[in-house]
Amino acid sequence: MNELPLISVVIPTRNRPELLLRAIRSVFAQTYTKFEIIVVIDGHDAGSIEALSSIRDPRLRYIEIANSGGGNQARNLGASMANADWIALLDDDDEWLPEKLRRQVSILAESGFNSQVVVACRFVAREPKGDAVWPRRLPVEKETVGDYMFDCRSLFDGEAALKTSTLMLSKKIVEETKFSTSVRKHQEIDFLLRASRNEKLQLKFAEEPLAIWNVDAARSAINNERNWKQSFDWIRSHRSKMGPKAYSGFLLVNLASESSGQGQWGAFVPILTEAFIHGCPNAVQLVRYVCMWLLPPSVRQKVRLAVQRNRCAPPRVKTQNVPA
């Protein structure tokens, strides 16, 4: 393929017009300009309609779903509307750095535009108290999605990470796998785990940070909803797609964060038992598990921020105004 491909940017949204416009500005600021933007409004939302109608750019299209079905349904619909063979996903509360599309297209070109390649990138995890670049570790050759994400080897978050807003992938993969409309948490990982049943799937990374994940614990979001039992059932359904170290890593780190955050001490023994029976806990996982339960979140955050301040973070991104 000699001609550079069109990229369809799919953005699900609802009732967050200011954040949506910020995300769209970051797309219009891309140095790679061969794209279209498809915004899927998940339910009646007059504010987003008004905001979008003010943008005069033929590369933008939007549709409003009558009844809200969740972000995954919106992503599936947006992908079905795409004119391109390649899709880049962006959540309405995240942003892209200007070279994001260009860099990921170059990685696709290196693969010969193989439709089984999924391209992610490092990103800036942005909080009011500071920025951090995640993930610190990139997957090694032939490492599965599950093993990469959950084989925890570090005492701090951000060792391995995949966010929806970093992904560029073929329309073929989305149509064949589809985002599950029944999954409310772990959405991008659930999708990638199911897609990885095809052994030809390849996960590639741009090493530089190309997106911004705006972390805001106070904002109401699906990823902030805590229900450890649902997550327990979810990871059990995917146990066959990862090694025992990764399985125990999810239980002792990710699931422990949810259950301890709810004060659900009744989860302590079942989670630990599941990790030893079906997983292979290492020392780091066990230390983190104990810390999750015994150290208050405020103490853990202070330690994390102290470590984070010793790492260099990129400057804050400046985005252009939305074309009028």
Write phi, then psi, for 115 (nearest 5 degrees): -70, -10
Report how far apart, in Å, the C-alpha atoms of 321 and of each of 12, 23, 29, 45, 272 are: 21, 11, 8, 23, 50
Beta bridge partners of 83: none
* Residues contacting residue 213 through CB under 8 Å, at least 6 positions apart: 94, 123, 124, 125, 126, 134, 163, 165
β-bridge pairing 130-134 and 117-127: antiparallel
Q: Quote the pTM value.
A: 0.89
* CATH code 3.90.550.10 region(s) in the chain: 7-214
Listed residue (13, 24, 19, 73) closest to 324, CA to CA: 24
Do 249 and 155 meet the contact criterion of CB atoms below 8 Å apart?
no
Q: What is the CATH number of domain 7-214?
A: 3.90.550.10
* Residues contacting residue 69 through CB under 8 Å, at least 6 positions apart: 42, 181
* Residues contacting residue 184 through CB under 8 Å, at least 6 positions apart: 70, 222, 225, 230
Distance CA 37, CA 18 (A): 17
Report how far apart, in Å, the C-alpha atoms of 247 and of each of 61, 83, 253 are: 41, 38, 10
Do 174 and 88 meet the contact criterion of CB atoms below 8 Å apart?
no
Per-residue pLDDT of the chain (324 residues; tens, 9 = 90+): 468 999 999 999 999 999 999 999 999 999 999 999 999 999 999 999 999 999 999 999 999 999 899 999 999 999 999 999 999 999 999 999 999 999 999 999 999 999 999 999 999 999 888 899 999 999 998 899 999 999 988 888 889 999 999 999 999 999 999 999 998 889 999 999 999 887 789 999 999 999 999 987 445 444 445 589 999 999 999 999 999 999 999 999 999 999 998 889 999 999 999 999 999 999 999 999 999 999 876 666 666 666 555 554 444 555 444 443
Q: How far apart are the first and last CA of the chain?
A: 34
3-state secondary structure the chain: CCCCCCEEEEEEECCCHHHHHHHHHHHHCCCCCCEEEEEEECCCCHHHHHHHHCCCCCCEEEEECCCCCCHHHHHHHHHHCCCCCEEEECCCCCEECCCHHHHHHHHHHHCCCCCCEEEEEEEEEEECCEEEEECCCCCCCCCCHHHHHHCCCCCCCCCCCCCHHHCEEEHHHHHHHCCCCCCCCCHHHHHHHHHCCCCCCEEEEEEEEEEEEECCCCCCCHHHCCCHHHHHHHHHHCHHHCCHHHHHHHHHHHHHHHHHHCCCHHHHHHHHHHHHHHCCCCHHHHHHHHHHHHCCHHHHHHHHHHHHCCCCCCCCCCCCCCCC
